[in-house]
Structure 1
């Protein structure tokens, strides 16, 4: 039955793909009409908004911290603050200066989160004709589905909330059990998941790549076999949260054979995109699922009034910061992610990093996509190398005899035979991808990068020490300061 449903779903997507700009304009007007009577809508003169330009003139781009006074009112249970009524849920996620963030999920927006993964799987079925995975056991590594109440509103991790809405045709085969999924300690939970899944006909495994890798490592330690042998029916890996590329080689080695994969672009603020064509790295933007998109050229994001482009104005191969307006009551909300369009017919993107996670201590403005690409190139030149995790930080020197440089803190599953050659390959690859970094290197303002290998488990221990092991938590690829680097080096010796 999945095949006709898949064909129908793909056809529904193709209808709005024929007129993406008109689809988005119609959606913006619907959102503004729905929000006109809210506290936010009245404060921003929604009744006068007809066009994206009207909207941009009245509603400035804000991040969570800037919108926090409104979110705080929502948390107390006050109705009609950002969206009519009260939210159905609050998605609790890690914040920055505000601590934990509480993102509304409304009755109107819950379908965006539920249907995103479902539509991704159905597009896979339509593209490949393969639906056997639906007959086996499926695992979604997620946060606890147990919810607390904040202001009378059920509150928890997004993955735990969505767990309550898994379609019946998937739930009958879903693992782990509810009791195991409720275990808060990640390492204890992993051991329980291994125990529950071994011996089961697992066909689909899904989760954030580094945490799936932990699960794979424990499976292999328990069985002495690659994951693909332990689960001979396993043939589809679904990843999301971070780019799969830095983890792909090690994940595939842990599996021991090729499996198909689908990459997703979910966030607590909305399910934005998914990989609709196997083998095509571009993620299809969901332009008719309750989210109006604006795109700000990344290099101009921090200007006082940066340009805000609609879907009809974007260009290929340029970096954009993503701004969302949605039926969750998010209005010109800065998501924090940056993307690059790789296709405009239909619109597909790759996620390139975080607008605040860049390295520009010396004016180089290196982004996540560039360091990930540099690492892939270095590994290509040193194929024996396997990387578990990494981050890059500035190493600013006040001593003229020891100039400044970048420090790459890398946890290797298998180190390169020649660390110096590997570091040189990294440095060259980054110079080729970032002209500002190359200029600084040519001018000897920066010297070749420092490669600092970290002991096995360093990133896991650090994430555990700050209460962010497992779940939806991610390691920043880049930092403009040494906070993460010093945390990682706290129990490690630099090499």
Structure 2
């Protein structure tokens, strides 16, 4: 039995479904004693890791309560923990954790440098796997047919490596989507949907850093199958699919007709499918996912942040009635929230995974920031996320901001609201979430629509500073519409941010301006970064773009 057949083997699917629903039920049941579970997670990480260098230095064996923990360990970032992590990556035992890291996940920080996130067997067993399985429950419950056959799932983030890069101690240093959890952690059921597809492991040679070519090869293979689910997690990857089909369909048609894959012999010629795709492209002027896969059911990706501006229309590219299921609120460092039903954006706090603390998103995080417990959060407010878990991250500020949607069964449901970084040229302290809400408000008030957006501060002198927004409208905007939108955007920013309101009142900031781009400008920008060698999973939507070179590259087509 090959890997594709193994994934959809009826017995495996039965066991997989049972595990997924059992983990969701366990997490749901834990909500009845969320505070008790938080205390047990704290006790477990302290007991397990107290013999470590970090545990001894911070007196883990003397800590009994969250207040004790707060006094012993400061709020910290990756930079603060990096010396400890580098010791572990170099092979030193018992630095942060009692068990040795099996792999180190990559995660790109604000500087673009790749972090090394230690991933231990105990972390995977107690923190990662329970939330990870539960995350698939809404999909399996409501769209069981997406696992009907090996080629039913196009998993865009799955990217196995034959020879992964390693740390100084020889441990793999890779993305989470590049790890075989079955062989690395003894969890054969953990293989994601789509990892048994014919394109999961490419059958022709391609260099590890040729990410665009790998995306082409997967699409070329997928057009001959009945794909019903696209998994992207990063929504920018999902948005790239219609763009790539539009760009690549002549090459795809030729490969399908000739029975080739990237020009190399593969399979049998399929002139009938090639003719069908060519006819659709000529009829509609392009080839859309809905044309290629008419039985598409769902997309699985983040649905908030900048994606909230473009995902509703993007979903239509994949077919009428296609559902967008929210991927978990999580990072390479650990989970935060997971959707246990079909809610369009929010996930319940994973109270059994980590010790969670939160801080007002409008305040700066410092080592002694006063934090809130989950039961102290208020609906409709934004918070920094700080978590601690047995994998060796203690009071770790992950850099994400979440918005509390509501409370369900006594536990907060959270939406990802954006990164915690700010744009602060003259005291305005604008956060991503505030700008995105302002953009959405101006769009709603005018009936206008966007493919994507970015902004920067212009003006060398503070008194001449202003925000410039680069926008890619779905359809052309008239001059009057642009002026109306700009006025409403300015008003919305006033409402969202006291700092922006004060800066405008003292004339430290002028009114914002617009630069309108072609509809596909952000898609070209995304693809250029992938072509330059950045893994698609790490090329995410970016709102604040102060770098002159990046801004020039994005807006070049507006001037051309």
Give the TM-score normalised by the residue count of structure 1. 0.89
Task: Give runs of aligned pairs for residues 305-384 of structure 1, distance below 5 A.
Answer: 305-344=368-407, 345-356=410-421, 358-383=422-447
Task: Give runs of aligned pairs for residues 20-59 of structure 1, distance below 5 A.
Answer: 20-59=34-73
- Select 2:534's aligned residue among 465, 468, 478: 468
* Residues 143-163 of structure 1: per-residue CA shift (max 9 Å, x gap): 632122221212211221267
Question: How many Å separate the matches in 1 of 2:78 and 2:308?
Answer: 29
Quote how far apart the aligned CAs of 1:323 are.
1.1
Is this contact kept in 2: 1:241–1:472, CA < 8 A?
A: no
Question: How many Å separate the matches in 2 of 1:168 and 1:158?
Answer: 12
Quote how far apart the aligned CAs of 1:293 are.
1.1
Is this contact kept in 2: 1:242–1:474, CA < 8 A?
A: no
Unaligned residue ranges in structure 2 (runs of 5+): 1-13, 183-187, 250-276, 282-286
Task: Give runs of aligned pairs for residues 258-273 of structure 1, distance below 5 A.
Answer: 258-264=321-327, 265-273=329-337
Compared CA separation, residues 266 and 254, structure 1 to 2 (3 A)? same
Is 173-182 or 81-90 further displaced after alignment?
173-182
**Partner in structure 2 of residue 149 of structure 1:** 166
Q: Residue 202 in 1 paired to residue 227 in 2?
A: yes
Task: Give runs of aligned pairs for residues 66-215 of structure 1, distance below 5 A.
Answer: 66-97=80-111, 99-111=113-125, 112-126=127-141, 128=142, 130-136=143-149, 137-142=152-157, 144-146=159-161, 147-150=164-167, 151-161=169-179, 167=190, 170=193, 173-174=196-197, 176-179=199-202, 183-207=208-232, 208-215=234-241
Question: How many Å separate the matches in 1 of 2:107 and 2:427?
Answer: 31
Compute the RMSD of aligned alpha carbons.
2.9
Quote how far apart the aligned CAs of 1:196 are.
1.1
Is 52-61 or 317-326 further displaced after alignment?
317-326
Question: How many Å separate the matches in 2 of 1:430 and 1:364?
Answer: 10
Quote how far apart the aligned CAs of 1:38 are.
0.6
SS at match of 2:488: helix
Is 415-424 or 99-108 further displaced after alignment?
415-424
Task: Give runs of aligned pairs for residues 311-460 of structure 1, distance below 5 A.
Answer: 311-344=374-407, 345-356=410-421, 358-383=422-447, 385-387=449-451, 389-398=452-461, 403-417=464-478, 418-455=481-518, 456=521, 457=523, 459-460=525-526
**Partner in structure 2 of residue 253 of structure 1:** 316
Is 137-146 or 409-418 further displaced after alignment?
409-418
Is this contact kept in 1: 2:227–2:293, CA < 8 A?
A: yes
Question: How many Å separate the matches in 2 of 1:494 and 1:445?
Answer: 28
SS at match of 1:12: helix
Quote how far apart the aligned CAs of 1:193 are.
1.4
SS at match of 1:31: helix
Corresponding pairs, count? 487
Quote how far apart the aligned CAs of 1:198 are.
0.3
**Partner in structure 2 of residue 232 of structure 1:** 294
Is this contact kept in 2: 1:359–1:365, CA < 8 A?
A: yes
Is this contact kept in 1: 2:309–2:450, CA < 8 A?
A: no
Quote how far apart the aligned CAs of 1:298 are.
2.3
Quote how far apart the aligned CAs of 1:484 are.
6.7
Quote how far apart the aligned CAs of 1:45 are.
0.8
Question: How many Å separate the matches in 1 of 2:110 and 2:190?
Answer: 33
Is 275-284 or 76-85 further displaced after alignment?
275-284
**Partner in structure 1 of residue 11 of structure 2:** none
* Residues 292-330 of structure 1: per-residue CA shift (max 9 Å, x gap): 111122233334521022223322222221112112111
- Select 2:242's aligned residue among 213, 216, 219: 216
Quote how far apart the aligned CAs of 1:227 are.
1.4
Question: How many Å separate the matches in 1 of 2:323 and 2:551?
Answer: 38
Compared CA separation, residues 119 and 10, structure 1 to 2 (3 A)? closer
Unaligned residue ranges in structure 1 (runs of 5+): none
Quote how far apart the aligned CAs of 1:465 are.
7.7
Quote how far apart the aligned CAs of 1:390 are.
2.1
**Partner in structure 1 of residue 33 of structure 2:** 19
Larger radius of gyration: 2
SS at match of 1:18: helix
Give the TM-score normalised by the residue count of structure 2. 0.79
Is this contact kept in 2: 1:462–1:487, CA < 8 A?
A: no
SS at match of 2:172: strand
